[in-house]
Chains A and B, each alone.
Chain A
């Protein structure tokens, strides 16, 4: 079956611009996670959705970061006023709510 998909695969933007990253989870998966992977920080948790609710936003690095999930499916991660330190690979994962998380291919964000 289809796995987790993310778009765009690559995004280059200028400092100060807003960006939106999209995640389509595996059909039927109720839990959705966003992580960030960067050279200096490794893999960091950003936010977790159960259905459309986000019980854990503890990993969002600043108020420039926000995310939403609609219809218990697609999620969008928005970064406002991007900074160079936001450059990273943003990974989305989904699970059926019990254990294994399945990851998408990621979006590579480059902020110039």
Chain B
């Protein structure tokens, strides 16, 4: 079984500062990892994914994530936070390994960006 963990319930950042939302994983074989964002009363929006290749993955809205195999982490980052980035962020991976099948999610991290 695979697992994904987000150790922080909430992250607070000042606008313009860099942000990091943490995710760690436990999978067998090659991990496939995703980040989604959820705005209030909305569904999940895909941000980026790691399948294979470069460890630094670039995604939507200026976000990027760094895959670190030795630390089993896939932290989400952005160089300069915006107030509009405030939302709930989920890290996810396929439960059965591989790139398909249902996703298992971290518990979510609420990002709050203050002006």
**Chain A contact residue count (CB 8 A cutoff):** 24
Which of A31, A93, A102, A104 lies in contact with B100, CB distance below 8 A? A31
Contacts of B95 in A (CB 8 A): 45
Are A101 and B43 within 8 A (Cβ)? no
Contact A91 B43 (CB under 8 A): yes
Shortest beta-carbon distance, B27 to chain A, in Å?
A: 14
Interface residues in B31-62 by Cβ distance below 8 A to A read 32, 34, 36, 42-46, 49, 51
With an 8 A cutoff between CB atoms, is B102 at the interface? yes
Contacts of A33 in B (CB 8 A): 102-103
Check if A100 is an interface residue, CB within 8 A of chain B. yes
Binding site for B on A (CB under 8 A): 4, 6, 31, 33, 35, 42-43, 45, 48, 56, 59, 91, 93, 95, 97-106
B residues near A97, Cβ cutoff 8 Å = 100
Q: Are B100 and A103 in contact (CB under 8 A)?
A: no
CB-CB nearest in chain A for B46:
A100
Q: Which residues of B are in contact with A by a Cβ distance under 8 Å? A: 32, 34, 36, 42-46, 49, 51, 90, 95, 99-105, 107-108
Contact B101 A48 (CB under 8 A): yes
B99 and chain A: residue at smallest CB distance: A99
Shortest Cβ gap from A19 to chain B (Å): 19
**Are A48 and B102 within 8 A (Cβ)?**
yes
A103 touches which one: B45, B49, B107 (CB < 8 A)?
A: B45
6 smallest CB-CB distances across A and B, nearest first, come from: A45-B102, A43-B105, A103-B44, A103-B43, A99-B99, A105-B43
Contact check, A99 vs B49: say whether CB atoms are below 8 A apart. yes
> What's the least CB distance linking B106 to chain A, in Å?
8
Please name all residues of chain B whose beta carbon is closer than 8 Å to the beta carbon of A42 when the two chains form the complex.
105, 107-108
